[in-house]
Amino acid sequence: MTLQKVILYYGFAPVADPAAVVLWQRTLCDSLGLKGRILVSPHGINGTVGGEMEAVKKYVRATKQYPGFGKIDFKWSEGQGDEFPRLSVKARKELVAFTTPDDVIVGIDGVENGGIHLKPAQVNELVATRGDDVVFFDGRNAFEARIGKFKNAVVPDVRTSHDFISEIESGKYDHLKDKPIVTYCTGGVRCEILSAVMLNRGFSEVYQIEGGIVRYGEKFKDAGLWEGSLYIFDKRMVMNFSHDAVTIGECDECGGATSSFYNCHNPECRHLALVCDSCAQNPQSFACTGSHDSVRTSGEVG
Ligand SMILES: [Zn+2]
Ligand SMILES: [Zn+2]
């Protein structure tokens, strides 16, 4: 089989006619045999697609032609060709479901009122100069942080991105308003919104990691401030940056160490069970229970 690749990317730029971009993207992916998920909104594009390397390269070249998409940082990873069951290209009100499209101002160069972008090395420099004052703030759904997060990070109690606004406005984090806050998420898209949301609500010094955990992990692997595995929104589910990745996840059943998520056996339920190899032998470990309230995603791409 030819070499298979997966890309993850987002770009903020005004899109006057999202429906037209959806049609274009769908036709483009179909013609190249790519599968995956792409969201288009009046604020830009967010996607993850996989296929043969040459086809993915053609997709990237074509997508960069759209005004404002030329700056997109495409994050590449190895694939098997079966990461996505189908192609889904949709228009949405928001790229990330925060239910707050008015919080961000988007221009041709991207989000104009978000947190300052730090390259991975600058994240470490900030921590070296400001020490324990620096607060890492997880911009993902809480379940994702069960298997990996920045050391000592604050993990907000959110099941989906919908919950972020009420969580930020709850007052729980008001004591952090004067501290340097580094928001982080998988590839960076959620922090473009989250950092603006926080700045708009009185947090004074908010940063975001350029390229998210993906770029940080590529740079520092497991020798930096990141700890554990990365949850990803395709069939692979979990990605490690090196063989030195520590296992911080704890099995739902026995508390043993694990980084393996499994779908709840109830097809109506979107819960992901975190289960160790040994408990995975027992089908009971995947039975639906009343405690399954942690909705997996509200359509996050990465
Ligand atoms: Zn177990
Ligand atoms: Zn369930």
Q: Please, what's the b/e burial string for 146-182 (b: 16 or more CB within 10 A of its CB; e: otherwise)?
A: bbbbbeebbbbebbbbbbbbeebeeeebeebeebbbb
Q: How far is the CA of 90 from the centre of ligand 2 (A)?
A: 27
Residue ranges near ligand 2 (ion) with Cβ within 5 Å:
264, 266, 269, 271, 288, 292
Average pLDDT, the chain: 95
pLDDT digits (tens, 9 = 90+) for 206-261: 999 999 999 999 999 999 999 999 999 999 999 999 999 999 999 999 999 999 99
* pTM (two decimals): 0.95
**Mean pLDDT lowest among 11-20, 92-101, 254-263:** 92-101
What is the whole-number distance in angstroms between the Cα of residue 146 and the centre of ligand 1?
Answer: 15
Instruction: Give pLDDT, residue 97.
Output: 87
The CA distance from 216 to 124, in Å, is 10
Q: Which ligand is nearest to the CA of 263?
A: 2
Specify the pLDDT at position 268: 86
Is the pLDDT reported for residue 262 higher than 90? yes
How far away, in angstroms, is 261 Cα from ligand 1 center? 12
Question: Which residues are catalytically annotated?
Answer: 185
43 secondary structure, DSSP code = T
Question: How confident is the model over 124-131, as a mean pLDDT?
Answer: 98
Instruction: Give the DSSP letter of residue 178.
Output: T
Note the pLDDT tens digit of each residue in 73-91: 999 999 999 999 999 999 9
CA dihedral 177, 182, 188, 194 (to 10 degrees): -10
Q: What is the pLDDT of residue 301?
A: 80
